[in-house]
Structure 1
Amino acid sequence: MYGQSTPPRRDLYPAIEASHGEMLKVSDLHSIYMETSGNMRGRPVVALHGGPGGGLSPEMRRFFDPQRYRIVMMDQRGCGRSTPHAEVRENTTWDLVADMERVREKLGIDKWLVFGGSWGSTLALAYAAKHPERVAGLVLRGIFLLRKSEIDWFYQNGASHVYPDAFARYVGVIPENERGDLLTAFNTRLTSNDWATRLAAARVWARWEGETISIAGPSALPSRFNEDRFVEAFARIENHYFMNGGFFEHDGWLLDQAPLLRHIPCRIAHGRYDMCTPLTSAWELKQRWPEAELEIIHDAGHSSLEPGIVDALVRATDWMADRAAW
């Protein structure tokens, strides 16, 4: 309405430390790091990081009111503090879903809010499809359905037209005769027996995403995209999942599950100028799931830390504390 002021955007809650952290053995090969913070008697929420292979960041705790939420987080297989580092064996979507169930059962949680952005939204939706009775609600950002069209857009031909400078750096390590299938070309290098070859490819793969994650472009490259340990796990695990279609039954499987989730409260925030996971995926999900609330952020890209995204997600978690299907 004319003359009506716009309410100020919400900011992250103050930084808090984990109150408890431990390693949980989930297979003969893998152990994952898990932690809790906030109010141990509060509403339980599990916050899922991106990638796959991105690992936890302390900022993830700050999307939740620490007085109202019991915040559960974990480094998914092969990344962060989980071991073995950058391991792609026994590392599939369904392994991660099973790990979430192990954590839930260990903590004695009946139902929890599931929160995730980018790949975290993929995993959140996959978990909800398999265990809808355990999901009190979903808060999602940067919807990624892991379809071939989405992979092609970002890693082959699409975002390249918006960020040709960053794309030139990305493809620069791949000979021209291999550039018709960049996913496979990088896979050859990321799975090489030579560590230097793997690391060189990982640095370039990760930097491409890091330079396009924010609406500010390459100038806003997050610092961890320059850290070798981070990029090794990030690139190897991402490429592994994308080469295998997310381990879903068919392309588009995740979107096909949406009608089965319509009873679950869901709020989605998506940046209008998201280059990594274009808005079309959130839009199509909304068409299959009319009850889900989609908020399009007019001045944001993909990063969860852009002001409009932060505002939408904090308002969503506040709303869910009272109104999720607890």
Structure 2
Amino acid sequence: MRELYPEIEPYHQGMLPVSELHTIYFEESGNPYGKSVIVLHGGPGGGSQPLYRQYFNPELWRIVQFDQRGCGKSIPNAELEENTTWHLVEDIETLRKHLNIDSWVVFGGSWGSTLALAYSETFPEYCLALILRGIFMLRSLELSWFYQDGTSYIFPDAWEQYIMPIPIDERSDMISAYYRRLVSPDRNVRSQAARAWSIWEASTSKLIPDTKLIEKFGTEEFAEAFARIECHYFVNKGFFSSEDQLIKNIDRIRHIPTVIIQGRYDIVCPMITAWELHKAFPEAEFIVVPDAGHSMTEIGLRSALIQAGDNFAEEDIAKYIS
């Protein structure tokens, strides 16, 4: 089992205006002359984390993170206007140019895997490799499984808390019911809905539930941006032209070295989605971790992700040692 690399601090942080409304936070850590990797956080709305830096050898990698529109340290917080998948794809490209990076490895899990696929299919020429975990393609079946009918059979106790803010006559479409509350002008209504939405995800993310994660997701500071932005994307079907857009465009990235890593018991992003991506993209290495759920901190997923990063770093390794 692989252990995380030591904690490190960024050597460069900044705020980058990407529109008249939005400014995104970004940071760089590791080796400024190393191979570049862009780490795409989940959610949408989850924000970057210091922990992500520890998945990469800091002597070999130039590790770039940013907070997507409306979350983390990006401003304005929880803003839904001008916040779509394609705005984020353009933000990634704007950041690449701002940092004078010719090309990079793209690393993303959960919603980060969705965004990684959308970015790489739009700008394949700038992608050295892809490391994808907990595959999510934002299709109706995936959303229904988690927010309507499926996960509820495995976590009925947590489900009771999730549905509590929604009257019985609105529960046939939970995402829409939550969206109405998450955009309510009443702060108390928004806060109650945001906490319940966020706690539901935290309660189901690990094979063994993590009370500290649940507490974090339940804080008002985190929950409002996370729940509002997620629900906004889900109501709008990810802003894709068709449900299978990412699969249909897979030929655009078939040549890019790719690793797909999936927890067998991932309840948030069940394995069928990763399996279907694997079948459409057999050129990619496909790794199933037999004793893991959704969270990248689970031992098997952590080890597979670190090893994938090490494997890609080893190409021209001497070039990246300062």
Range of TM-score over shorter length: over 0.9
- Would you say the 8 A contact 2:26–2:67 is kept in 1? yes
Taking only the aligned residue pairs, the percentage that are identical comes to: 51
Within the candidate set 107, 110, 124, 2:102 is matched to 110
Superposition TM-score, scaled by structure 1 size: 0.95
- Would you say the 8 A contact 1:139–1:316 is kept in 2? yes
Within the candidate set 73, 80, 83, 2:75 is matched to 83
Which stretch shifts more, 68-77 or 260-269?
Answer: 260-269
C-alpha distance after superposition, 1:139-179 (max 9, x if no partner):
01100011011000000001111101001110011110000
Partner of 2:228: 236
- Would you say the 8 A contact 2:71–2:226 is kept in 1? yes
Give, in angstroms, the shift of residue 222 of structure 1.
4.3
C-alpha distance after superposition, 1:26-85 (max 9, x if no partner):
000000001000000000000010000000111011111000000000000000000000
Partner of 2:42: 50
Alignment partner of 1:284 is 2:276: yes
Partner of 1:135: 127
Amino acid at match of 1:143: I
Amino acid at match of 1:199: S
Matches within 5 A, 1:127-276: 127-217=119-209, 219=211, 221-276=213-268
Residues in 1 aligned to 2:137 and 2:36: alpha-carbon distance in whole angstroms: 25
Structure 2's unaligned 5+ residue stretches are none
Partner of 1:6: none
- Secondary structure of 2:256's counterpart equals coil
The aligned length equals 317
Structure 1's unaligned 5+ residue stretches are 1-8
C-alpha distance after superposition, 1:119-151 (max 9, x if no partner):
000000000010000000000110001101100
- Would you say the 8 A contact 2:196–2:218 is kept in 1? no
Within the candidate set 44, 58, 61, 1:66 is matched to 58
Aligned-residue CA RMSD in angstroms? Answer: 1.3
Residues 219 and 35 of structure 1, relative CA distance in 2, 3 Å threshold = closer
Which stretch shifts more, 232-241 or 258-267?
Answer: 258-267
Residues in 2 aligned to 1:317 and 1:299: alpha-carbon distance in whole angstroms: 21
Residues in 2 aligned to 1:149 and 1:192: alpha-carbon distance in whole angstroms: 27
Partner of 1:4: none
Amino acid at match of 1:136: L
Within the candidate set 18, 28, 32, 1:36 is matched to 28
Residues in 2 aligned to 1:112 and 1:218: alpha-carbon distance in whole angstroms: 33
Give, in angstroms, the shift of residue 321 of structure 1.
1.3
Residues in 2 aligned to 1:188 and 1:262: alpha-carbon distance in whole angstroms: 40
Superposition TM-score, scaled by structure 2 size: 0.96
- Would you say the 8 A contact 2:205–2:293 is kept in 1? yes
Residues in 1 aligned to 2:96 and 2:252: alpha-carbon distance in whole angstroms: 22
Residues in 1 aligned to 2:212 and 2:26: alpha-carbon distance in whole angstroms: 29
Residues in 1 aligned to 2:31 and 2:210: alpha-carbon distance in whole angstroms: 38
